[in-house]
Amino acid sequence: MAEPLLQATGLSKSFGSVQALEDIDVTLHEGTIHGIVGPNGAGKTTLLSVMSGYLLPNAGTVQLRGRDITGLTPQRRVPLGVVRTFQNIRLFGGLSVLENVMIGQHAHARTGLSSLLPFRTASDRRLLAEAKDTLELFDLARYGKRPVSQLPYGVQKQLEMARAMATRPKVLLLDEPAAGMTTEGRGQLSTRIRRLRDEGVSVVIVEHDMDVIAKVCDEVTVLNFGRRIMHGEPLEVLSSAEVRTAYLGT
């Protein structure tokens, strides 16, 4: 098999006496969607935070195409193509949808003193057009200049994904994108995530909604109490007795 795109090896992380992750391996292959499931407190978000650079692991490495990125901050991973979303939405609440997406382009745009010059270069215009396209793609263009903190929850979730896409990621790390969505919204979300994969973005998705997991994932890793208890294809994993026990208790 080809070299994995993102590989987490032997990750451990503890908070005080709580072992949030223990010797976790996750491999994301290019062009695939990898689901992370598990009961509350299993360590899913911690895993995502370690992979995106928000947390340093106590042990283990994260590699992007063979390059060790374990110690890089999120702002250094973004230009390499690794970006995440948050379980509890984190937008720039006072800014507009367009401004939020433009901040997502930060790593690709002129942002130093030269960005102060009162004229736009060709690349500035291209980026602005790209930002507007992204808004169209996520059906957000109609929200105009309103501060995004005033927009409905579902729209904010869309915007967070749009902003993440504006960074031009190779690896998109989604933390519970379906939480709080309507059934219809979840359907659209599944379609959208698959379309992103078809366009060449590889996805790691933490999700509680098993419908979404079953629909979009190529591979699934199950965590429980910080350990990997299973790994495989979605149907196989979701129907296994061990996973059912972990979720339902014994």
- Residues from 78 through 107 that contact other proteins (CB under 8 A): 78-79, 83-84, 86-88, 90-95, 99, 102-104, 106-107
CA dist 137 to 62, 87, 195, Å? 31, 22, 11
Residue closer to other proteins by CB (options 109, 196) is 109
Give the pair of three-digit tokens for residue 135: 């808004």
Determine which residue in the list 3, 25, 68, 111 makes contact with other proteins, applying CB under 8 A. Answer: 111
Q: Of 40, 45, 47, 5, which Cα lies nearest the Cα of 25?
A: 47
Q: Per rule CB under 8 A, is residue 46 in the interface with other proteins?
A: yes
CB of 167 to other proteins, least distance (A): 6
Contact pattern for other proteins over residues 58 through 77, marking x by CB under 8 A: ---------------xxx--
Q: Which positions ≥6 away from 5 have C-beta within 8 Å?
A: 28, 29, 30, 64, 65, 170, 171, 202
Q: Per rule CB under 8 A, is residue 120 in the interface with other proteins?
A: no
Q: Which positions ≥6 away from 83 have C-beta within 8 Å?
A: 52, 77, 164, 167, 169, 171, 172, 173
Give the pair of three-digit tokens for residue 239: 């129907």
Count of chain residues binding other proteins (CB under 8 A): 50
Q: Per rule CB under 8 A, is residue 39 in the interface with other proteins?
A: no
**Structure letter (DSSP) for residue 36:** E
Residue closer to other proteins by CB (options 18, 235) is 18
Q: Per rule CB under 8 A, is residue 144 in the interface with other proteins?
A: no
- Residues from 163 through 202 that contact other proteins (CB under 8 A): 163-164, 166-167
Task: Count Cβ neighbours within 10 Å for each residue of 119-148 and write b for 16 or more, e otherwise.
Answer: eeeeeeeebbebbeebbeebebeebeeeeb
The residues of the shown chain that bind other proteins, judged by CB under 8 A, are 15, 18, 20, 40-41, 43-46, 49, 52, 54-56, 73-75, 78-79, 83-84, 86-88, 90-95, 99, 102-104, 106-107, 109-113, 115-118, 147, 163-164, 166-167
